[in-house]
Amino acid sequence: MSENAGSRNPLQLRDQPETCRTADAEERSAWQRVIGRFADNCRARSLFVLHYCTGCGAIELPPTITSRFDMERVGVSPMVTPRQADILLITGYVALKTLKRVILSYEQMQAPKYVIGFGSCTINGGMYWNSYATIKQLDQYIPTDLFIAGCMPRPEAVQEVFLELMRMIDAGKANAWRDYYRNYDHYLANQQALFGPQWHTPTDIVAEAKHYGLMGPGTTGPHTRLLDQHAEWALDRIPEDYPERGENERSER
Amino acid sequence: MRPENYKPVRHPPSHEYELYFGPNHPGIEGNYAIRVRLKGDVVQEAITDAGYLHRGFEKIMEERLWVQNVALVPRICVPDPVPMEESYARAVETLGGIEVPERAQWIRVLMLEMSRICAHLFTFGGNAATIGLYTNMFWGVTMRDLFLDIFEEITGARIYHMYITPGGVRRDLPDGVLDRLAAVLDELERKKPEFDDLFFENAVVINRATGVGVLTQAQALAWGVTGPNLRACGLAHDVRRDDPYLVYPALKFDIPTATSGCSLARMHVRRAEVEQSVRILRQVMERLRTVGGPVRAHLPNPLAWNVPAGEAYARTESSKGELAFFAVSNGGPKPWRIQVRGPSQMHGVQVLERILEGARIEDVAQIMFSLDACPPEIDR
Ligand code: SF4
C-alpha cells in the first residue's frame, strides 16, 4: 500500500474527472434536485455583498446598510473578502484600472455568485458615455444578473434589487455565473480587446469549467488559446538569477 | 498561470514587508490604495496608488455645452457635491458677466452649508469606524439622511442635486421647507451631547487619536494644505472670509481653529464647523423668509450660448478645503479648457504619503480619514 501511495503522482488526480464533479442536470436524481432546491432556498436567505465600491454609488451604500434602510433585515450584509462573498455589487462607473480588479475579484468568488450593476454607468456608460477612461457596458466583461437604473439609484432601489435577486435565486433563475464558464472565450475576448493580448488572470477558468462539468460551446476558442501560450512565455520571463530551490539549499550549505 | 505583472523577488527579511492597503478595504474612503512598507508594525514608506476612479473630467467637459456640464460637475466629489456646482456656476457667471439675484445667493449659501454638515457627519462616522466604533457610523449616516431628505425636497435628488446653475438656482424653495429644516437643525443640536459622548469624550478616541498624524503649520503651508486640515494647525484661513463670495460678508460666523494639528484636532475643528454651519443656516433661514424676488437671472438660450471669451477663476470653501475652477472660454458653445483645483489631491497624496511615515499600521486608516481626502476628486 505504501508503495502504491508513493508511486502515485498527486497531479494525476486532477485528470480523473469522475472522482469529484458536480453532476449535470440530466444526471441529477430526484433526490439531488430536492437538495438543490433546498440549497437555493437557503442561499437566497443569506447573501453577502463584497465590500468593494467602484464608483460614486458607494455613497448610497452606508445609508442602505445602516439603521434607516437596514439591509440586514432582508438578509444581506457586507463581506470584506471576495472568497466568502456571494454578490458583487458594481456601484457605478468602472475605470479600466478598476475593471482589472473587478475581474480578479469576480474570478476569486466562489460559485454560485451574482453580479448586480448599480446605476446607468454600468448599463450604457451613463454620464461618462464619451470618457476615454471608463467601460461602457459591464456585461461585456463579466456576466451580470441584474441592473438598477438611475443616476444614482436610491437605497430603496438597492433593497428592491436584493429582494428581486432573492426571488430569482429561489426560483433557480440567477444563473449568469454559468455563462462565464460556458462562454468564457467571449468575455476573455472583450477583456483582451481592452487590456491587450497579454491579459490573463491567475484563475484558470477553463480548468474550473472542466472540473465542474460546466464546459459549453464557447468555453474555449482562439482567445483562450492565447492563455496557454502565456503559460509558456511566463516561464521564459523568469530572470536568470532567480534562485531555484535546489540552488538555495546549496548556497546555504 | 502567473499574473501579468508577476515578478519573482528575493524576499527581504521577514520583519520588513509590504502591504497593499486597498482598494477593497473597509478602512479606505473609496476606491483608492496605498502601498505601505512596514518594519514590524511601523510604516517606513507609503506610496499612494490612485487612478481607480479616473474618468477624464477635464477632457469630457471640453466636449460638452456649458450648460451640460452642470450635470457633470457634482460628480467630481461624491460626499460634498454642492461646492463643485457653486464654483463652476460662479466661473461661468464671471465669464458671462451674469448677476445672480439676491434670493438665489441666499439659497445657494443654504445649500452649501447643508452640504458641509452632511460631509462632516459622514467623516465623523467613517473616522470612528476606522478605530472600531461603529455606533458613530450608524448615527452619523442616519443624521445625514435627515439632511438628504431636505435636499430631496428642494432639488429632487438625494446626492447629486444639479440645483445651482449659472445665473442662480433651478427653482425656488418649496413651501414649508424652512420649517422642516429648522426641525432637523434642532434635532442635530439635541443629538450633539450624545455625539460628543460617543466620540470626543470617548477614552478610546482620545487615546487613539491624540498626537497621531501630526502636521505642523509650516509643513501644512509648504504642502498646500487647506480647509479644516490647515485650520487644525492654527491658521484661520477660510475662503469664505478671505475671498468672500455670495452673501458671506453679511453673515456672522467664526472660523474655528486648533493648535496641535493631530488627528483629533482635525476632528475637533470639523465639529466646531458644524456648529458654525448651523449658526449660518439659522441666519440664512431668517433672511430667506423676507428676501423675495426671482431666483434665476435671464440667460440666453442655453443650447446656443456662446460664453464670451476670457478666463475666470472661482474659489469656494468646501468641506475638504479650498476648491476652485479655472475656466477658459474662446467664445464658443463649449469650454475651451476647465481646470479643477481640488483640495484632496494635496491631502490624499502628498500629505498622506509624508505623515504616514513612522505611523503604526493600525493608525493608517484613521490618519487617512482624518485628512478627509475624497478619492473621486483626486482622480477626477
Ligand atoms: S450612474 Fe450616475 S451616480 Fe452612478 S456612477 Fe454613474 S454618474 Fe455616478
User: Are B267 and B199 contacting, i.e. CB atoms less than 8 angstroms apart?
Assistant: yes
Question: Of B52, B56, B159, which has the smallest distance from its Cβ to A59's Cβ?
Answer: B159
Residues in chain B closer than 8 A to A55 (CB atoms): 31, 53, 376
Question: Of A56, A131, A234, which has the smallest distance from its Cβ to B376's Cβ?
Answer: A56
Q: What is the pLDDT of residue A244?
A: 52
A7 pLDDT more than 50: no
B23 pLDDT more than 50: yes
Residue B207 touches chain A, beta carbons under 8 Å: no
Distance from C-alpha of A215 to C-alpha of A238, rounded to nearest angstrom: 32
pLDDT confidence bin for B7, thresholds 50/70/90: low
Quick count: other Cβ atoms within 10 Å of Cβ B219? Answer: 15
Question: Of A58, A101, A202, which has the smallest distance from its Cβ to B1's Cβ?
Answer: A202
Name the average pLDDT for chain A.
78
Q: What is the pLDDT of residue A240?
A: 63
Task: State the average pLDDT over residues B41-66.
Answer: 87
From A138-142, A225-229, B145-149, B203-207, the region with the lowest mean pLDDT:
A225-229
Distance, C-alpha B119 to centroid of its chain: 6
Quick count: other Cβ atoms within 10 Å of Cβ B32? Answer: 27
Q: B52 versus B4: which is more confidently predicted? A: B52
Question: Does A229 lie in the same domain as A105?
Answer: no
What is the whole-number distance in angstroms between the Cα of residue A126 and the centre of ligand 1?
7
Name the average pLDDT for chain B.
86
User: In a mutagenesis test of the A interface, which of B10, B48, B53, B134 is the best target, namely the one with the most A β-carbons within 10 Å?
Assistant: B53
Q: What is the pLDDT of residue B185?
A: 92
A247 pLDDT more than 50: no
CA angle, B58 as apex, A153 and B220 as ends, to 5°? 95
A1 pLDDT more than 60: no
Question: Does A97 lie in the same domain as A157?
Answer: yes
Q: What is the pLDDT of residue A252?
A: 39
What does DSSP say about strands A114-118 and A146-148: parallel, antiparallel, or unpaired? parallel
Distance from CA of B4 to the nearest CA of A (A): 6
Distance from C-alpha of B293 to C-alpha of B287, rounded to nearest angstrom: 13
A83 pLDDT more than 80: yes
User: Are B59 and A132 contacting, i.e. CB atoms less than 8 angstroms apart?
Assistant: yes
Q: E strands, B22-117, where?
A: 33-39, 42-49
Quick count: other Cβ atoms within 10 Å of Cβ B303? Answer: 10
Task: State the average pLDDT over residues B280-305.
Answer: 85
Question: Does A186 lie in the same domain as A134?
Answer: no
Distance from C-alpha of A64 to C-alpha of A155, rounded to nearest angstrom: 5
Alpha helices in B223-262 (DSSP H): 228-231, 239-242
Question: Does A121 lie in the same domain as A169?
Answer: yes
Residue A41 lies in a domain: yes
Atom of ligand 1 nearest to the CA of A127: 7
pLDDT confidence bin for B117, thresholds 50/70/90: very high
Q: E strands, chain B, where?
A: 16-21, 33-39, 42-49, 164-165, 168-169, 310-317, 322-329, 337-341
Atom of ligand 1 nearest to the CA of A151: 2
What is the whole-number distance in angstroms between the Cα of residue A55 and the centre of ligand 1?
7
The candidate with the shortest Cα–Cα distance to A99, out of A175, A193, A16, is A193
User: Are B44 and B356 contacting, i.e. CB atoms less than 8 angstroms apart?
Assistant: no
Question: Does A167 lie in the same domain as A56?
Answer: yes
Distance, C-alpha A119 to centroid of its chain: 20
Alpha helices in A24-140 (DSSP H): 30-43, 61-65, 96-108, 120-124
Question: Does A121 lie in the same domain as A103?
Answer: yes
Taking only the tens place, the pLDDT of each residue in B56-79 is 888 888 888 888 889 889 888 888
Bridge partners (DSSP) of residue B314 are B325
- Among chain B residues, the shortest Cα distance to A91 is held by B31
> What does B102-118 look like in DSSP terms, one character per residue?
HHHHHHHHHHHHHHHHH
Chain B residues 36-55 with CB within 8 Å of chain A: 51-55
Q: What is the pLDDT of residue B139?
A: 87
Distance from C-alpha of A55 to C-alpha of A93, rounded to nearest angstrom: 5
Q: What is the pLDDT of residue A125?
A: 85
Question: Does A163 lie in the same domain as A70?
Answer: yes
Distance from C-alpha of B141 to C-alpha of B154, rounded to nearest angstrom: 20
Full-model pTM: 0.82
pLDDT confidence bin for A204, thresholds 50/70/90: confident
Q: Which of A91, A127, A128, A129 to mutate to test the pocket of ligand 1 (most atoms within 8 A of CB)?
A: A127
Q: What is the pLDDT of residue A19?
A: 43
Atom of ligand 1 nearest to the CA of B159: 3
Closest C-alpha residue for ligand 1 atom 2: A151
Residue A13 lies in a domain: no
Question: Of B55, B141, B144, which has the smallest distance from its Cβ to A133's Cβ?
Answer: B55
- From its phi and psi, is residue A213 left (phi > 0), alpha (psi between -120 and 50) or beta? left
Bridge partners (DSSP) of residue A48 are A77
What is the whole-number distance in angstroms between the Cα of residue A77 and the centre of ligand 1?
22
Residue B294 cell numbers, joined? 426671482
> What does B148-193 look like in DSSP terms, one character per residue?
HHHHHHHHS-SS----EETTEESSPPPTTHHHHHHHHHHHHHHHHH
Last residue of a domain, one of A133, A155, A174: A174
Question: Does A66 lie in the same domain as A46?
Answer: yes
Distance, C-alpha A52 to centroid of its chain: 13
Question: Does A225 lie in the same domain as A127?
Answer: no
Residue B125 to residue A242, Cβ atoms within 8 A: no
Q: Is the ipTM of this complex over 0.90?
A: no
User: Are A91 and A121 contacting, i.e. CB atoms less than 8 angstroms apart?
Assistant: no
Residue A9 cell numbers, joined? 503522482
User: In a mutagenesis test of the B interface, which of A68, A91, A224 is the best target, namely the one with the most B β-carbons within 10 Å?
Assistant: A68
Q: B43 versus B10: which is more confidently predicted? A: B43
Bridge partners (DSSP) of residue B47 are B35
Burial class (CB in 10 A: 0-12, 13-18, 19+), B247: middle
Residue A158 lies in a domain: yes
Taking only the tens place, the pLDDT of each residue in A174-187 is 888 888 888 888 88
Residue A54 lies in a domain: yes
Task: State the average pLDDT over residues B334-340.
Answer: 90
Residue A51 lies in a domain: yes
Task: State the average pLDDT over residues B292-305.
Answer: 82
Atom of ligand 1 nearest to the CA of A118: 4
Give the pocket of ligand 1 (CB within 6 Å). A 55-57, 92-93, 119-121, 126-127, 151-152; B 75
Task: State the average pLDDT over residues B345-374.
Answer: 86
Q: What is the pLDDT of residue B6?
A: 64
pLDDT confidence bin for B3, thresholds 50/70/90: low
A248 pLDDT more than 60: no
Quick count: other Cβ atoms within 10 Å of Cβ A7? Answer: 7
Residue B2 to residue A202, Cβ atoms within 8 A: yes
- Among chain B residues, the shortest Cα distance to A205 is held by B1
Distance from CA of A41 to the nearest CA of B (A): 29
Task: State the average pLDDT over residues A61-81.
Answer: 84
Residue A97 to residue B6, Cβ atoms within 8 A: no
B101 pLDDT more than 70: yes
Q: Which domain holds residue A160?
A: 31-174
Calculate what percentage of chain B has a pLDDT beyond 90.
14
A242 pLDDT more than 80: no
Residue A156: give its domain's CATH number.
3.40.50.12280
pLDDT confidence bin for A8, thresholds 50/70/90: very low
pLDDT confidence bin for B14, thresholds 50/70/90: low
pLDDT confidence bin for A41, thresholds 50/70/90: confident
A2 pLDDT more than 50: no
Element (H, E) at B375: helix B375-379
Question: Of A54, A62, A97, which has the smallest distance from its Cβ to B51's Cβ?
Answer: A97
Q: What is the pLDDT of residue A5?
A: 41
Residues in chain B closer than 8 A to A130 (CB atoms): 60, 63
**What secondary structure letter does DSSP report for B210?**
T
B86 pLDDT more than 70: yes
- Among chain A residues, the shortest Cα distance to B134 is held by A66
For residue B29, the one-letter residue type is: E
Q: What is the pLDDT of residue A250?
A: 40
Question: Does A131 lie in the same domain as A37?
Answer: yes
Distance from C-alpha of B28 to C-alpha of B19, rounded to nearest angstrom: 14
Question: Does A163 lie in the same domain as A39?
Answer: yes
What does DSSP say about strands A114-118 and A87-91: parallel, antiparallel, or unpaired? parallel
Q: B311 versus B10: which is more confidently predicted? A: B311
**What secondary structure letter does DSSP report for B349?**
I
Residues in chain B closer than 8 A to A134 (CB atoms): 55
Q: What's the domain count of chain A?
A: 2
Atom of ligand 1 nearest to the CA of A120: 1
Q: What is the pLDDT of residue B326?
A: 92
How large is the angle between the packed helices A184-195 and A222-236, nearest 10 degrees? 60
Element (H, E) at A158: helix A155-170
Residue A54 to residue B55, Cβ atoms within 8 A: no
Question: Of A53, A80, A201, which has the smallest distance from its Cβ to B31's Cβ?
Answer: A53
Q: Which of A54, A118, A121 to mutate to test the pocket of ligand 1 (most atoms within 8 A of CB)?
A: A121
Residue A23 lies in a domain: no
Residue A252 lies in a domain: no
**What's the CATH fold of domain B16-378?**
Cytochrome-c3 Hydrogenase; chain B (1.10.645)
B8 pLDDT more than 70: no
Residue B335 cell numbers, joined? 469650454
Sign of CA dihedral A84, A90, A91, A95: positive
Question: Does A156 lie in the same domain as A79?
Answer: yes
The candidate with the shortest Cα–Cα distance to B52, out of B33, B66, B34, is B33
Residue A59 to residue B145, Cβ atoms within 8 A: no
Distance from CA of A68 to the nearest CA of B (A): 6
φ, ψ for residue B315, nearest 5 deg: -115, 150
